Chain A
Amino acid sequence: MSVIYIMVPLAFVLAGGAVWAFIRAASGGQYDDLDTPAVRMLLDEEPASRTAPQQIRR
């Protein structure tokens, strides 16, 4: 059972990583708009839009 001495700190590191990722996402503005993405996924991406203009963008 002494593996717990390693597991608990490891779990902390994992949790810390998750929190760090969240902080990065939040300060990057990913959570600024919580309403529009919910409806944006309803819009079908047309096949045509994958061509010229969007490819330049990404």
Chain B
Amino acid sequence: MSALSPAATSPPSASVAPASHISPAQTSTQVECTHCRLPMSIVAGNSGPHFCCNGCETAHAVITSCGLDGYYALRDRLEASAASADHAPRRYSEFDDPTFRKLYCREAPDGLVQTELLLEGVHCVACVWLVERLPRVNSAVLESTLDLRRCSVRLTFDPRVGPLSRIAADLDALGYPPHPARRAAQRDARRAEDRQMLVKLAVAGACAGNIMLLFFALYAGMFEGIEGGFQQLFRWAAMILNTICLAWPGLVFARSALGALRARTINLDVPIAMGLYLGGAWGIWKTITGEGDLYFDSISALIFFLLIGRYVQQRQQRFASDALELLFNLAGSTAHRVGADGACVDVPTESLHVGETVEVRAGETIPADGVVLLGNSKVDCSILTGESRPLTVNIGDSVAAGSVNLQSVLRVTVVATGESTRIGKLLRMVEDAQARRAPIVRLADRWGAWLLYGLLLLAAATLIFWWPISPTLAFDRAAALLIATCPCGLGLATPLAMTVAVGLAARCGILIKGGEILELLARPGERGTIVLDKTGTMTEGVLSVARWTGPASVLELAGALCRTSSHPVSKAVVRHLNVAPRMKVAHSHEHRGMGLEGTVIEETSPHEWRVLLGHAEFLGTQNVAIPPDLAFEADRCAANGLSPLFVAVDGVCAGLAEMGDRIRPDTAAAVRRFRAFGWSVRVLSGDREEVVRHVASEAGISPQDALGGICPEAKLNIVRELTSKGRTVMIGDGVNDAAALAAASVGVAVRGGAEASLAAADVSLTSDGLLPVVELLEGARRLMWTIYLTITTSLLYNLVAASLALLGYISPLLAAIIMPASSLTAVAICMKSRPFRPSPRAMRGQTSPGRPNTRGALV
């Protein structure tokens, strides 16, 4: 049944049909099994679906009975497109390279090796089952443990039994292409941090629980009477536990408050830590003197609740960063090094050296900066420069790491690797921009200062009010006030609301690195600007047919002919047509750099057409005249930055395809929404000026706000300048945008972006287009409303507690009731809030390949 999963489309479940079922019959014809496509023989003349075995027949029956027959058509189409770029099964021989071993593997003294691999296509329970049965598939594997949330598998294997490449190939065959887990040090550090947090939470919980038990006895004693010895015992016991709680888990708040004070700012942790530690110290004094009220239960519960809030938030942020990490690691890191004997060896990109030769096949990313040694091809540099048109490269031309080879095999001499490549320098710029960015001042922290002053003022008022009666009583009341009004609900509200929002956003395909970013997105503020990249953000980012002029039958003929070619233009035409071919191509010839020529036959009738495809000069050499109306259209489209492609049938020019990077249908609507929210919208692109102008005008942006031909450095400077004037949101995808993404107040990386932009951005979108950005802005506004609501209610509670304390009506029991009540109200409001609404449209983004599951997004 594995054929039901999309992962199994490439090797159509060879395991379903054992070879023994294919027995040669006497009077037979060779056909393919309808389900698994294994060759099989049937009795001649028998029509209808054929199956090689019962398993395939059952699978086919189940699929059709569920109304999923579309699967077979989809499979055929996917395979047709995959067939053009030859898909030999990957060998993963770079996994055996010593450099790889050093980078990603850990060797145990007994000769066993441990490694962690990130897997594509991990979704559910069945994946856990399959991946953890790996030791049975490959005897070299001793243990395999899958982490469903991080989509990573931890392998223990014996290199003496079998190589890692074989294990990787087995994983690939199971439908989980593996990738090495990079940045292991960071992951380890984060793991240690998570464990620390959990331990603190446990200690705080244990202390709070036990103190609560002791205080139950004390409160009962208040009403029923209690023996003095027992009272002293409980008080001292509670004091010891509370001191542990303050000295260990409570330090989280003390450190944060001290850090803020050292930076001469006040965050929310300052009033919290003040309440906790002053209350704690006063309590210790009261225990030693043996009289007066104690508030240890409130203090320890406060620490526990606040830590829960932080833990939940941290966990949520891990989820987003894990998802991003996966995307980051999916980027290929393999190069084919050409050895002295001319043979190719797969090695990790990290082990390449200057002067070596690498082979780059069609569809692969160029691993290092270099000079073309052999071959000519077209290269897509859009990720580096933002230019949508592929560049033609010949022997002697230089190519940059990160650009994609589109057409045919190239051999490249490496000139620079790693950090010294153009892309490496851009990445350094990204880090630089990130380091220079001002930290976000959270809303709650801004309120923290006012709270602190308010509380200090109230405490002073209490002291002055009660001083004439008794100084001890005055201190008692002031301490009670500080504890009872500790802004716990406030401290809990924002993290919880953010966590809910970030979790729901992840289900909408919006991955947010930190909740604070949502505060910035809620309102444009003064001179808030949204800066859009063009290629891949406003447009689809791939060459396609933007417009077709001419009869549909001509387009169909052109499409049939294009099927025979692997040129980017031909592929775009085939994609545009998107129907199963009805014509056959009898003969075709590609004039390099000129056009395509061929003869097309319809299957049902014997009619033949001679079809020509190409630009005007090519048709001219073939003696085909271009009619004036098409020539006029061609001029118009060239002025818009599109390239005209003429189609001639039997010597008559009959159609014109305008080739270019098509604008997404939802771009204009999204721009209107941005404006409605109060943002101004600008376009910065590395593409040619006229193309950028045209796309901007179609999206409803005036030409003076659209700048083209901008290099990454200039982009960074413009965004920096805008950011110094007001809030900026940069939306882009390429490496050329990465530095600008990092410099903007908020960077949003759109789907399919480069790893660098994912690393630099605060938000990354897993579904296409700008509509998710609109959703993001709306969600941020709804979230802020929730936060204001919780803050207001928790301030109301604080106000009640403060007035009670000031008037002397506060008691430990009352404080112990008000405080959790305020926290629970905050939690309830946050949990009921729905800042992001996962809609069916947004949910589609989840099915994209390589997208990690979002289960368990909410704690």
Query: Which of B125, B142, B198 makes the CB contact (< 8 A) with A43?
Result: B125
Complex contact A23–B202 (CB within 8 A) = yes
Complex contact B148–A36 (CB within 8 A) = yes
Seed contacts A18-B206, A32-B191; 4 additional CB < 8 Å A-B pairs: A4-B233, A22-B199, A26-B195, A36-B148
Query: Which of A15, A31, A42, A53 makes the CB contact (< 8 A) with B206?
Result: A15
Which of A4-36 touch B at CB < 8 Å? 4-5, 8, 11-12, 15, 18-19, 22-23, 26-27, 29, 31-36
Q: What separation, in Å, do the CA atoms of A15 and B237 have in the docked complex?
A: 13
A40 beta carbon closer than 8 Å to chain B: yes
Complex contact B195–A32 (CB within 8 A) = yes
Query: Which of B150, B191, B203, B237 makes the CB contact (< 8 A) with A12?
Result: B237
Query: Which of B132, B195, B855 makes the CB contact (< 8 A) with A35?
Result: B855
The contact string, 1 if C-beta is below 8 Å from chain A, for chain B 217-240, is 000000000010110011001000
Q: Which residues of A contact B855 (CB under 8 A)?
A: 35
Q: What separation, in Å, do the CA atoms of A32 and B187 have in the docked complex?
A: 12
B483 beta carbon closer than 8 Å to chain A: no
Which of B147-202 touch A at CB < 8 Å? 147-150, 191, 194-195, 198-199, 202
Complex contact B199–A27 (CB within 8 A) = yes
Complex contact A32–B194 (CB within 8 A) = yes
Q: Which residues of B contact A49 (CB under 8 A)?
A: 136
- The smallest beta-carbon distance between B431 and chain A, in angstroms, is 28
Complex contact B237–A36 (CB within 8 A) = no
B210 beta carbon closer than 8 Å to chain A: yes
B133 to chain A: closest residue by CB: A49
The contact string, 1 if C-beta is below 8 Å from chain A, for chain B 124-149, is 11001100100110010011011111
Q: What separation, in Å, do the CA atoms of A42 and B135 have in the docked complex?
A: 19
- Given contacts A5-B233, A12-B210, A12-B237, whether A39 and B125 have CB atoms under 8 Å apart is yes
Complex contact B233–A35 (CB within 8 A) = no
A sample of 11 cross-chain residue pairs with beta-carbon separation below 8 angstroms, ordered by A number, consists of A12-B241, A19-B206, A23-B199, A26-B195, A32-B195, A33-B150, A36-B145, A39-B128, A43-B125, A43-B129, A53-B136
Complex contact B148–A35 (CB within 8 A) = yes
A57 beta carbon closer than 8 Å to chain B: yes
Query: Which of B199, B206, B227, B856 makes the CB contact (< 8 A) with A26?
Result: B199
Query: A interface, how many residues as a size bin?
Result: 20 to 34
- The smallest beta-carbon distance between B191 and chain A, in angstroms, is 6
Complex contact B135–A31 (CB within 8 A) = no
Residues of A that sit less than 8 Å from B by CB: 1, 4-5, 8, 11-12, 15, 18-19, 22-23, 26-27, 29, 31-36, 39-40, 42-43, 49, 53, 56-57
- Given contacts A8-B233, A26-B199, A43-B129, whether A15 and B143 have CB atoms under 8 Å apart is no
Q: What separation, in Å, do the CA atoms of A47 and B227 have in the docked complex?
A: 62
Q: Which residues of B contact A35 (CB under 8 A)?
A: 147-149, 855-856
Q: What separation, in Å, do the CA atoms of A12 and B855 have in the docked complex?
A: 39
Q: What separation, in Å, do the CA atoms of A18 and B191 have in the docked complex?
A: 22
Q: What separation, in Å, do the CA atoms of A18 and B210 have in the docked complex?
A: 12
- The smallest beta-carbon distance between A7 and chain B, in angstroms, is 10
Q: Which residues of B contact A29 (CB under 8 A)?
A: 191, 195
Q: Which residues of A contact B145 (CB under 8 A)?
A: 36
Q: Which residues of A contact B206 (CB under 8 A)?
A: 15, 18-19
Interface residues in B, total, Cβ within 8 A: 35
Q: Which residues of B contact A8 (CB under 8 A)?
A: 214, 233-234, 237
Complex contact A57–B143 (CB within 8 A) = yes
Complex contact A36–B149 (CB within 8 A) = yes
Q: Which residues of A contact B202 (CB under 8 A)?
A: 19, 22-23, 26
B237 to chain A: closest residue by CB: A8
Q: Which residues of B contact A32 (CB under 8 A)?
A: 147, 191, 194-195
A2 to chain B: closest residue by CB: B229
- The smallest beta-carbon distance between B791 and chain A, in angstroms, is 30
- Given contacts A4-B230, A53-B136, whether A39 and B195 have CB atoms under 8 Å apart is no
Among B142, B143, B147, B199, the one with the most A-chain Cβ atoms within 10 Å of its Cβ is B199
Q: Which residues of B contact A26 (CB under 8 A)?
A: 195, 198-199, 202
- The smallest beta-carbon distance between A54 and chain B, in angstroms, is 8
Q: Which 5 A/B pairs are nearest by Cβ-Cβ distance?
A: A36-B148, A39-B125, A35-B149, A33-B147, A22-B202
Q: Which residues of A contact B214 (CB under 8 A)?
A: 8
Q: What separation, in Å, do the CA atoms of A33 and B116 have in the docked complex?
A: 14
Q: Which residues of B contact A15 (CB under 8 A)?
A: 206, 210
Q: What separation, in Å, do the CA atoms of A8 and B129 have in the docked complex?
A: 47
A36 to chain B: closest residue by CB: B148
- Given contacts A26-B202, A43-B128, whether A31 and B148 have CB atoms under 8 Å apart is no
- The smallest beta-carbon distance between B303 and chain A, in angstroms, is 15
Query: Which of A11, A18, A36, A57 makes the CB contact (< 8 A) with B147?
Result: A36
Q: Which residues of B contact A34 (CB under 8 A)?
A: 149, 856
- The smallest beta-carbon distance between A50 and chain B, in angstroms, is 13
Query: Which of A1, A4, A33, A57 makes the CB contact (< 8 A) with B142?
Result: A57
Q: Which residues of B contact A4 (CB under 8 A)?
A: 230, 233
Q: Which residues of A contact B856 (CB under 8 A)?
A: 34-35
- Given contacts A8-B237, A12-B237, A53-B136, whether A36 and B128 have CB atoms under 8 Å apart is yes
Q: Which residues of B contact A31 (CB under 8 A)?
A: 195, 198
- The smallest beta-carbon distance between B174 and chain A, in angstroms, is 16
Q: Which residues of A contact B149 (CB under 8 A)?
A: 33-36
B210 to chain A: closest residue by CB: A15
Q: Which residues of A contact B195 (CB under 8 A)?
A: 26-27, 29, 31-32
- The smallest beta-carbon distance between A40 and chain B, in angstroms, is 6
Q: What separation, in Å, do the CA atoms of A57 and B156 have in the docked complex?
A: 10
Complex contact B199–A36 (CB within 8 A) = no
- The smallest beta-carbon distance between B651 and chain A, in angstroms, is 65
Q: What separation, in Å, do the CA atoms of A31 and B192 have in the docked complex?
A: 11
- The smallest beta-carbon distance between B555 and chain A, in angstroms, is 49
A4 to chain B: closest residue by CB: B230
Q: What separation, in Å, do the CA atoms of A18 and B132 have in the docked complex?
A: 32
- The smallest beta-carbon distance between B819 and chain A, in angstroms, is 23
Which of B240-269 touch A at CB < 8 Å? 241
